Amino acid sequence: MDNPIGVFDSGIGGLTVVKQLMHYLPNENIVYFGDTARVPYGTKSEKLIRQYALEDAAFLDQFGIKMLVVACNSVSAVAIDLLKSTRKMPVLGVIDPGVEAAVQCTAKNKIGVIGTAATINSNAYYKKIVGLNPHIQVLSQPCPLLVSLVEEGWITEQITRLTIEKYLQPLLGDGVDTIILGCTHYPVLKEMIQQVVGEKITLIDSGKETARIVKDMLINLKLTRLDVRPPAVQFYVSDIPFKFDEIGTRFLGRPLADTQRVEFEKFLLKQGKKIYLPLQESN
């Protein structure tokens, strides 16, 4: 099936998910939307995040997507069920795949979760983990500075290593054997994080686990692309793409210079109130 996989995020971090999708599904067309005009989502109310989720998904709908991947922890935490109930295609967030992999991986029943303050405060990972196995101890640690360090490009600097060591000290002291990278920026720092925690601790990249599940779902649903022509990967943002291209090259691991800015407000005006009906029905 030639239709693309749709991926959206509140900004640029979701490109680490796209990178994994391109690795596991190199033949698939992908269209990505980063809502860079309204990033971050984590500081917004749940009601507003749910509204943004419907708007972002509606933008991707126009490309005839065959699957929707939510590469945003905030939306995955509070709006994934809403999206699943309003779409005819499969919908997958980044939290469940990472949680399932971590629960299967841990031998000591001690899992650490690192993420932005908003993600950690939502308790989304904690609820999912104990829902699968109530005997697992979950130790969560917000790491708010890491996003800024990644976007500055300070991937190998000593200040970044010292920051990681400071943040992860409580988790290491409590004896976790598995750590979920609960922010799509963090895979860019995976090598340094692994050096800090040591080889005995397993790092779970939610984007990688999400891509694996997407591949399995497309195969099982017979939705894989069989066309032998090179796939198309398109990138759209809701604000000026210059910084997006610059930082995105680090996230994607390849040059990114063809990003298109969309007049998102005009798009939403054309859609009218119909896309917000699910919000009214869920109240």
Indicate which residues carry an active-site annotation: 72, 183
Is the N-terminal amide bond of 40 cis, ω within 30° of 0?
A: yes
Q: In what order do the strands lie in the sheet with 233-237?
A: 91-93, 67-70, 5-9, 30-34, 233-237, 260-261
Strand (E) or helix (H) holding 58: helix 46-61
Q: What is the dihedral of CA 98, 102, 105, 107, to 10 degrees?
A: 180
User: What is the CB neighbour count within 10 angstroms for residue 43?
Assistant: 12
| DSSP one-letter string for 128-182 | HHHHH-TT-EEEEEE-THHHHHHHHT-SS-HHHHHHHHHHHHHHHHTT-SEEEE-
Q: Which residues contact 46 (CB under 8 A, 6 or more apart)?
A: 78, 79
Tokens 């971090």 found at: 13
CA distances from 269 to 58, 95, 262, 279 (A): 12, 31, 13, 17
b/e burial code for range 56-95 (CB count within 10 A of at least 16 → b): bbbbbbebebbbbbbbbbbbbbbbbebbeebbebbbbbbb
In angstroms, how far is the first alpha carbon of the chain from the final one? 36
Round to whole Å and give the CA distance between 194 and 201: 8
CA–CA gap between residue 60 and residue 6 (Å, rounded): 6
